[in-house]
Amino acid sequence: MPMTVEEQKTLLNDVQSKLTDYGNSLKTEIEKCVKDGLGESDKKVEDLKKELIHVTETQKNMQQQLASYGTMVPGLKDELNNGKIKFSSTKLVRALVRQAFPGEFGPDIWKGCEQERDIVSATKKAMQTRATGNYAGDGESGGFTIPIELTGAISTIARQSNPVESILPCTVLNGLSGQLEIPTITSGTTTYMVGENEAPTVSKLKFGKIVANPKRAAGLSFVSKTLLFQSQEGIDSLINRDLGESLGAKKHEMFIIGKSTEDEPTGLMNSKWGIATSTIAGETNGGRFTITDALYAKGELSEANEMAGVPLTNFAFLMRPMVKTGMATERIKQYSGQAAKQGQPVIQNLGYLDDAALNGIVGKIGESTYLPATETKGSDTTNTLSSVYYGDWSRFWLLGWQGMTIRISDQATVGSVSAFAQNAVWVIVEEGFNCVVVRPGAFRRITGAQTVPSSW
C-alpha cells in the first residue's frame, strides 16, 4: 500500500544521502586518477567529471522536489484532510468537450466546473515551477493533470484490479517529478581481523545506479456526449470504473512482464534484474508447487541472510491462481499408487486449505495471470508450467509521476468504433509510472509450477 508523505520523504532523503556518498566516491576516484599521473583531459577523468556534474544536478532537482513533496496543489491540504474537496472527473471532461466544441455546448467552458478549473490550474502552475526536466512528456498537451491527491476514485479501482499494488507489500512512491536516480552499492567495505598496530587491507564502497523515467499508460472510455451533459454525477462512477480497471490491468501487466523498452518499464520477470532461480524449490521436471517448495524458497532466502532483521510482513509469494489452487488442494499419499486427489489433506479433516490456512503456513500470496503459463522444465514439455516469485517486496518499488492526465477526442476510431460517427467522445486517462527492483538478491524465482491439475 502507498506510504504516507512523511515515509516517502524519508525514503527520498535516503536516496539523496546515497547520491551524496556516490558523489564523494567520484571525487575520490578523480583525485586518485590525477595522483596516478592521469591528465585532466584523460578520457577516464573526463567521464568521471561528467558523471559528478550529473550527480550534482540530480541532487539539486531532488532537493527542490523534496521541498514541495506532498503539496502538489498549494492550499488544498486542509480541505483534503477535512474531506471538503470532491473532484469530479465528469465535470472536467465536460469542460474539455466544451473546449473542443465551442458553441455546441455553451461558450462558458468552466460553467459548473469552477472548483475543477482552480485545481487543475494550480496543479499546472505547481508543475511548471519545478526544475525537474521535460514536462512535454507528462502528457498534458490538450488536457489537464489531476493531482495525485485527488485521483482516489480512479486509482483505487486501478489498485484493486492490480494485486501488485493492492496485495503485495511493495514500496510505493507517488508524486515524483522528472527522472529518479537510485544509487546502489555494488560492493561494500570488508572488515578484517588485525593484530596490534596492523592496518586492515584497504577497501571502498563501489556504486552503481538505477535510472527511472516515467513510462506512460493510457486508458480509453467511450462516452456519449448527450449522456455526459444530461446525466447527474452518477456517471462519475461509470467513467472511473471503466478507466480504473483498464489502467490497473495495464500497469499490472507491465510490473510483471514489462520489456524494458523506451515505452515499457523493466518488469519483475525481466532478465535485466538478474533475480536468481531457486536451486532447491520446484520439481526437476515440473509439477505441483507444494507447501514444501514454498518453505524451501523461504529457507533459501534465510540462508542468504536476506530475511535477517527484515519484518516478515515484507515477504510474500506471487503466483498464478491455478498454482495457488494446487497448494490449496494438496494431498498426502498414504500408499504407493494412491491417486493424488484421494490422499489425506495436509491438515486432517480440512478438505482444502483456505486463504487463512495458506497464509498461516506459507505467508501472504498475490495472484496474477500475467505470469506466463507457457514454460517448460526438464522432461516436461507441456508448455503449461509457470514461475513463482518469493521475496521482500519492499525492495520492489512502484513509482508514480505527478498525477493522472485526462484528454478527450472525437476523432479516434478504436476497434471500428468511431466517436465522430456516434456523437460521442473517447475519454483518455494517462499516468506516468515505472518500477524498479532495488535489490534483486532479496527475491527468488521458482520455475516449473504446473498449472494443469491433471498433471499434478
In whole angstroms, how large is the CA radius of gyration of the chain? 26
pLDDT in tens, 270-291: 999 999 999 999 999 999 999 9
Rounded to whole angstroms, how far apart are CA atoms 253 and 234? 30
What average pLDDT does the segment 235-240 reach? 71
Of 226 and 257, the one with more pLDDT: 257
Of 440 and 125, the one with more pLDDT: 440
What average pLDDT does the segment 229-237 reach? 68
pLDDT of 298 reads: 96
C-alpha angle with apex 165: 163 to 170, nearest 5 degrees? Answer: 115
Rounded to whole angstroms, how far apart are CA atoms 278 and 300? 8
Distances (CA, A) of 222 to 44, 142, 238, 414, 428: 55, 18, 11, 10, 9
CB atoms closer than 10 angstroms to residue 246: 19
| Residue 431 CB contacts under 8 Å (≥ 6 apart), including other chains | 216, 217, 247, 251, 400, 401, 403, 404, 405
What average pLDDT does the segment 147-176 reach? 76
What average pLDDT does the segment 209-236 reach? 79
Residue 132 carries which side chain, given as an amino acid letter?
T
Pairing of strands 396-409, 171-176: parallel
pLDDT of 78 reads: 61
Q: Name the residue among 1, 338, 333 with its Cα closest to residue 162.
A: 1
Rounded to whole angstroms, how far apart are CA atoms 397 and 197? 45
What average pLDDT does the segment 307-326 reach? 95
Of 204 and 370, the one with more pLDDT: 370
pLDDT of 263 reads: 92
- Terminal CA-to-CA distance of the chain, rounded, Å? 34
pLDDT range class, residue 423, cuts 50, 70, 90: confident
φ, ψ dihedrals at 37, nearest 5°: 105, 5
**Quick one: what percent of the chain has pLDDT higher than 90?**
33
Residue 389 carries which side chain, given as an amino acid letter?
Y
pLDDT of 92 reads: 85
Q: Which of 205-214, 232-241, 254-263, 341-350 has the highest mean pLDDT?
A: 254-263
Check pLDDT > 70 for residue 67: no
pLDDT range class, residue 371, cuts 50, 70, 90: very high
* pTM of the model as a whole: 0.79
Q: What's CA 282's distance to the chain center, in Å? A: 27
Of 375 and 187, the one with more pLDDT: 375
3-state helix, strand, coil in the chain (%, to 5): 40, 25, 35
What average pLDDT does the segment 417-434 reach? 82
pLDDT of 125 reads: 73
Rounded to whole angstroms, how far apart are CA atoms 91 and 87? 8
pLDDT of 135 reads: 40
What average pLDDT does the segment 424-449 reach? 92
pLDDT of 133 reads: 47
Q: What's CA 314's distance to the chain center, in Å? A: 15
Contact indicator for 25, 55 with CB cutoff of 8 Å? no
Rounded to whole angstroms, how far apart are CA atoms 100 and 428? 14
Contact indicator for 209, 227 with CB cutoff of 8 Å? no
Quote the mean pLDDT of the chain: 81
C-alpha cell at 429: 486517462
Q: Is 130 exposed, middle or buried (0-12, 13-18, 19+ CB in 10 A)?
A: middle
Question: Per mean pLDDT, which range of 9-18, 98-107, 251-260, 384-393 is the poorest?
Answer: 98-107
Check pLDDT > 90 for residue 310: yes
Rounded to whole angstroms, how far apart are CA atoms 60 and 414? 43
pLDDT of 295 reads: 96
Rounded to whole angstroms, how far apart are CA atoms 368 and 256? 9
pLDDT in tens, 169-216: 999 888 787 788 887 766 555 566 777 767 666 555 566 778 889 998
pLDDT of 190 reads: 59
Rounded to whole angstroms, how far apart are CA atoms 45 and 433? 35
pLDDT in tens, 36-64: 877 766 788 888 888 888 888 878 777 76
pLDDT range class, residue 136, cuts 50, 70, 90: very low
